[in-house]
Every structure is written in structure tokens, then in C-alpha cells.
Amino acid sequence: MAGVGLVGYGILFLIRNFMGFTELGLSSRQVGGTPQQIRRFSPDLYEYVGHLHMAVSGLLIALGITVIALAWYGIRRGQRWALWTVLSSAAVALVVVIPPHYAYGLGTVGHLGPIYLDALLLVIGTVVAYTALPRGITSSRSH
């Protein structure tokens, strides 16, 4: 579910770039102006921010697809490396992404809420998957 959430949020993020420009949960007060004001101030800056929105969207969607694939084809088959790969990649993303939101006054519930919800789903899924993983797997082949 966390992977599906990431894909959905990435798609929403991409749509917001073209239909509203300002990210979900942020107002013109937090970003220093309306999309029109920003575009008038600097068309190049407006396009640069738009390009960043699209890049972040692509990375969110890609991470979501990766989480889904690792969960479906690795974790469900009892492969611990897949579980730890999902958890560590998401943790790295959160550690890098979350702090600047608060440092720059962008840490609103409407903006970060979906990411926190997705992180909670990921933690719950990790705990459920970890407890269901078989212990002490040995190979049936002799060496």
C-alpha cells in the first residue's frame, strides 16, 4: 500500500504542477506569491520550479514502483534483503526530504500529511512482513 501511495502522490504532484503550480498543502503565503506573481517576477524561475516538480514527481512514482515490485516479488517470497531495501530507501528519502520543510516553514499538515501517512503504512507493512518472514531458511541443495 505504501508503494501505491507513493505512485498516487507522485501523480498528484505532477498534476498540481500544471494545475495550480503550488504543491499540495502550501499557500501563496508559504511560497512568497501566487503562481502568477512568481511567473511575472521571473519566468525562468517559474519554469525551473516547474521542472523540479516534474523531477520530484518522477522520483516519487519510480520509488513507489520499486516498493511495489520489491514487496510483490521479494518480500512476499521471504527475501529479507527486499524488505530492508524498501525500508532503507524510504528512510533515506525521508531523512533528506523532511527537515528542510520545517527549516523553510513548509512543514504544514496538508503538505507533509500524505507523506507521513505513507511512511506509517510503510512501517506497519514492514512490521507485518518482518513477523511473517520465515526464520532460519536453509537451502535444500547440498554444497
pLDDT attached to residue 35: 92
Q: How far apart are CA 27 and CA 105, in angstroms?
A: 11
Could you count the other beta carbons within 10 Å of the beta carbon of residue 97? Answer: 12
> Strand, coil or helix: what is 139?
coil
> Strand, coil or helix: what is 53?
helix
For the stretch 37-46, pLDDT in tens is 999 999 999 9
Q: How far apart are CA 53 and CA 55, in angstroms?
A: 5
26 with 114: CB under 8 angstroms? no
For the stretch 86-111, pLDDT in tens is 999 989 999 999 999 999 999 999 99
List the helix and strand counts (H, then E) for the chain: 6, 0
Q: Which residues of the chain have pLDDT under 50?
A: 138-143
Q: How far is CA 23 from the centre of its chain?
A: 14
Residue matched to cell numbers 522520483: 59
- pTM reported for the whole predicted model: 0.82
Give the cell for residue 100. 528542510
Residue spans of the domains in the chain: they are 2-132
pLDDT attached to residue 136: 58
